[in-house]
Structure 1
Amino acid sequence: MNEQLNDAIIDETNCISDRKSHHPDKTKHNLTARLNRIEGQVRGIKNLIEKDAYCDDVLNQISAIQSALNSVGRLLLEAHMKSCVVERLQEGDTEVIDEMMNTFKKLMK
């Protein structure tokens, strides 16, 4: 089951989708590198809190992480639109438009 979770996408209802992305290695590497940096930043915030760092310093780091996550989201969204969405539309699957509208709503919160 753990492998299935690693290979699947969980949507807003926590249902597991077995659809896969097919991004170029360069895109995957870029996204992974950014996420690794974000992971390090999150650990840094944890350390700041454990060391009773000044709240404003912690909040500034949280803001930086949110910005970095938004950047990853924009990159992934662009890649998704140019590959997965175009491919599904070419196959006649217009349900992808509703899916994208729901995704946009989540990203714009």
Structure 2
Amino acid sequence: MSIAYVVVTLLAAAMAGFSAASVFLRAKWVVEPLADYGVPRSWWTLLGSAKAAGAAGLLVGLFVPVVGLLAGVGLVLYFAGAVITVIRARSYAHIPFPLVYAAPVVGALVLGA
């Protein structure tokens, strides 16, 4: 296990965890766009839980690699879905935001391979 892999995985987990906490705490800069995109309010806690589980899975993956792999794939799919949601809402200026969160996850997957 390389130092780069550990650092990038920790960064990815921290970013996903921060994103989850932002949803749980109903940060205005997160929930207003969700409402604008048409994401039902009843989904918000589930979406935050998915990100939190992904963050935890990445951390566990440092010790149990298959868990990290599955968590990383799950987070990449989650953020791909976020990009699709933003595109469907025609909020093109917001496309970079989920990509910024997905980038370290992809990096962790590549370095872990």
* Common topology (TM > 0.5): no
What is the TM-score normalised by the length of structure 1?
0.43
